[in-house]
Structure 1
Amino acid sequence: MKIFVTPLKLLIPLLLLPLFSISHAAEAVPTTPISNKLTCHGKMLNPINDICWSCMFPIKIGGKVNLNMDNQEDNDSSPSNWFCSCTHPIRSGVTVSFWEPTHLVEVVRTPFCMVSLGGISLKNQKADKAETTGKADVSNKIQNLFGGSHKRGRNEQHDQHNAFYQVHWYKNPVVFWLEALLDNDCIEKGTLDIGWMTELDPTWKYPSLAVYQAPDSALFANVVAQAACAADCVKAATGFPFNKLYWCAGCHGSIYPLSGWMSGHFSEVQAAKLMVARIQTKMHRDLVAWRTSGKDALCGYKLNPVMDKQNYKMAMTYPVAARKFRGRCCEPIGRSTLVRDSGKAFPYKGNQFAFQLFRKRDCCGAYKFKTN
């Protein structure tokens, strides 16, 4: 049976669209699933072509030998001494510093869309069918409670653009699983593994719950604290951002609250990079991610509940793999997207994002003494 829709019926939704807007990012939560209108796209991560390997540089040995490529950026955490020793286990050697690719972060508009796994969706098919037919069932209600979906809106009164995103945090020790280095204590070991999905995290959907995880975020909900982020933006434009302004993500916006809602949504890439900073901050706050740089971290990881922003660089892997811009294809947290990321977000297959994180590693590259 064919269904005909009159032109008047087609115009009614268009006339009603301006009536539906999000008044404020911190107060709104997604209530109606719209993910069935958004398609999950992606491709399998190609570690050879999609990852910018020059981001591992500079590599410093003994604090003196500096191996660099295209003048890659570095922080000042590298120890200056040649030799080092550790006690657990007993070993001695030389200090080594480099940027290790350790984590992969996806920022998606469609819940449960795994961009780097070929664009597959982990969403329950029964819930998808319920959304399509309008027949909500138990699985659909659970999906709405914890899953959420992408929303964008505009506050006409204050001229603000708001948005909501989901994030997937992978463990991706690519140097190890490519078998470039195996028996070495200076690299992260493991395989590509899903470490966290915000669809299953109520605090990511509700900012009122996120405050309990980071109560200090209330200190930065004022004009003075947010104005200080302008200095962080300027600093990130030419180097690494200020660690003292830990609530700022440079030119991307405010790291707090640690939720998927954001105000000041000006571009898709800017929003995606802010979500990368937020999820990594959240992992540090949850004691899942640790600090790996500095003289005290030569022999092992250190607890770091307040993320060291200078400890990370990132490079896009999807939808457009990062290419060299002025000799570099990776950047620190907070650098402006105005020039280098132009054209990296586009309709259809260009509105889901993935980034490879590079973490600074200062290590004692040592020979292990056998005690038995």
Structure 2
Amino acid sequence: MKKAMLLGVVFTFVLMVVFAPAAQAIPRGSMVNMISDPAWKEIFPLRIGGVTVMSFDGYSAPDATSNPFCVCPMPPPLFYRIGIPVSFNEPARLAEAVKDAFYFPSFGFRIGSAGGSTKALGAATTNQVEGQQNSFYQAHWFVFPIWSLMGLLTDFVCVESGAEIDLAFLTEILPTWQDDNLSAYLTPEVLLFANPVAQLACIADSVSTNLWRPLDSMFWCIGSSGSTYPMSGHFSDHNNIQSAFGATNRMIFNMGRLLLLWDHGVNACTPVVTPIWNKSHYKMQRLRPTVQKKAWPVGTSSWMYQHFGNPPMGSGVGSADNFSFLLFRKKLCCAF
């Protein structure tokens, strides 16, 4: 029995070392460092003209084309332009999942006080309800064109430029995020997937996500985080890190439904509106409360990234259970 327990401990430790890169502790209330915090290797592989120029052993969605040339429409009198397809993974957005309403861990500050309506709008933590443990998280979405902010590659046509840090969405003011039943009015298709058969099918997506990549055809699933629906901050999961990751994944889908997130990995000539997401085109790196130098695809199990992911940080606003993730999106463009 003792040998079996010892082997179990050793096996668990090996899994943690292999699958969870070292996390770097960050002081509470510190802003994201645009130079040292991002996992820059996650932009690879870099492919030019269908040929891999710089490879990478991490996750990346496959290219939509392998042709050495691309042709895009243009206004008269040219009508068309010929270029070379370039693909990589672009760090471009920040997504946060917080238990403290109106707290922004990416920047280390909070709007408003700890009491009153601010607390009522959703500073919820993991709790016990009817014998089942649930989590609730508010979520924030930031436009974060990191290369443009750093003044790098500003002349490169494939990089988002001219934009600034912008808070594009926060759920504290969204009534449907607080209530599962109310959210169904905005996403009536939830009636098609709120059944055991559809939910059991998500097991296939979870297995595929952790072994290969997310299944885009199963858009109602978020791998190991459960279901995309209801579009709220509630999760039937005792694991805070998994629930927080799921909340930011739902924000990706939500921003697509609101036409505020266009997919850059479908067409080399122009981004495409995707009210039904291609979730395989996105991966996320944890920046707060600790920095992990690796990005994971949508729906990945927390077994891969939870090591030292939510350390105790005292009490009060900005303590544990407030997460920030850097979103890498698949970028395919026609360079010329």
Q: TM-score, normalised by structure 2?
A: 0.85
Give, in whole Å, the separation in 2 of the partners of 1:66 and 1:73: 16
TM-aligned CA deviation for residue 85 of structure 1: 2.5
Look up the equivalent residue of 1:113 and give its one-letter code: Y
TM-aligned CA deviation for residue 63 of structure 1: 0.5
Give the strand-richer structure, 1 or 2: 2
Give, in whole Å, the separation in 1 of the partners of 2:176 and 2:230: 10
State the Cα deviation string for residues 18-71 of structure 1 (Å, max 9, x = none): xxxxxxxxxxxxxxxxxxxxxx943201012211011100010001234113x1
| Residue of structure 2 aligned with 1:56, choices 43, 51, 73 | 43
Q: Give the structure 1 partner of residue 71 of structure 2.
A: 85
Look up the equivalent residue of 2:141 and give its one-letter code: W
TM-aligned CA deviation for residue 357 of structure 1: 0.4
The answer (yes or no) to whether the contact 1:115–1:354 under 8 Å persists in 2 is yes
Look up the equivalent residue of 1:204 and give its one-letter code: W
Q: Give the structure 2 partner of residue 194 of structure 1.
A: 167
The answer (yes or no) to whether the contact 2:60–2:281 under 8 Å persists in 1 is no
TM-aligned CA deviation for residue 331 of structure 1: 1.3
| Residue of structure 1 aligned with 2:106, choices 95, 102, 116 | 116
Look up the equivalent residue of 1:351 and give its one-letter code: D
| Alpha-carbon spacing, 1:203–1:88, altered in 2? closer, same or farther (3 Å) | farther
Give, in whole Å, the separation in 2 of the partners of 1:226 and 1:78: 29
The residue matched to 2:135 in structure 1 has which SS? strand
The answer (yes or no) to whether the contact 1:344–1:350 under 8 Å persists in 2 is no
The answer (yes or no) to whether the contact 1:42–1:319 under 8 Å persists in 2 is no
Give, in whole Å, the separation in 2 of the partners of 1:223 and 1:65: 42
Give, in whole Å, the separation in 2 of the partners of 1:275 and 1:167: 7
Q: Give the structure 2 partner of residue 300 of structure 1.
A: 270
| Residue of structure 2 aligned with 1:332, choices 277, 292, 297 | 297
Counterpart check, 1:260 vs 2:233: yes
The residue matched to 2:291 in structure 1 has which SS? coil
Q: Give the structure 2 partner of residue 364 of structure 1.
A: 334
State the Cα deviation string for residues 108-133 of structure 1 (Å, max 9, x = none): 1100001111x21112x4xx4xx3xx
TM-aligned CA deviation for residue 261 of structure 1: 1.3
Give, in whole Å, the separation in 1 of the partners of 2:52 and 2:310: 39
Question: What does 1:315-354 correspond to in 2, within 5 Å?
Answer: 315-323=285-293, 329-348=294-313, 349-354=319-324
Give, in whole Å, the separation in 2 of the partners of 1:180 and 1:91: 26
Give, in whole Å, the separation in 1 of the partners of 2:234 and 2:200: 20
RMSD: 1.8
TM-aligned CA deviation for residue 242 of structure 1: 0.7
The residue matched to 2:228 in structure 1 has which SS? coil
Give, in whole Å, the separation in 2 of the partners of 1:150 and 1:304: 31
Give, in whole Å, the separation in 2 of the partners of 1:239 and 1:176: 32
The answer (yes or no) to whether the contact 1:113–1:120 under 8 Å persists in 2 is yes
The residue matched to 1:274 in structure 2 has which SS? helix
Question: What does 1:231-246 correspond to in 2, within 5 Å?
Answer: 231-246=204-219
How many pairs does the alignment contain?
A: 300
The residue matched to 2:185 in structure 1 has which SS? helix
Give, in whole Å, the separation in 2 of the partners of 1:59 and 1:152: 41
Gaps of 5+ in 1: 1-39, 132-139, 324-328, 367-372
| Alpha-carbon spacing, 1:218–1:144, altered in 2? closer, same or farther (3 Å) | farther
| Alpha-carbon spacing, 1:85–1:339, altered in 2? closer, same or farther (3 Å) | closer
Give, in whole Å, the separation in 1 of the partners of 2:98 and 2:325: 11
The answer (yes or no) to whether the contact 2:289–2:310 under 8 Å persists in 1 is yes
Give, in whole Å, the separation in 1 of the partners of 2:52 and 2:213: 22
Gaps of 5+ in 2: 1-26, 314-318
Look up the equivalent residue of 1:291 and give its one-letter code: D
| Residue of structure 2 aligned with 1:285, choices 249, 257, 269 | 257
TM-aligned CA deviation for residue 86 of structure 1: 2.0
Q: Give the structure 1 partner of residue 62 of structure 2.
A: 76
TM-aligned CA deviation for residue 354 of structure 1: 0.4
Give, in whole Å, the separation in 1 of the partners of 2:126 and 2:74: 51
The answer (yes or no) to whether the contact 2:135–2:238 under 8 Å persists in 1 is no
Q: Mean alpha-carbon deviation: is it higher for 181-190 or for 83-92?
A: 83-92
Q: TM-score, normalised by structure 1?
A: 0.77
Give, in whole Å, the separation in 2 of the partners of 1:144 and 1:266: 22
Give, in whole Å, the separation in 2 of the partners of 1:342 and 1:73: 19
- State which structure, 1 or 2, has the greater radius of gyration over its C-alpha atoms: 1
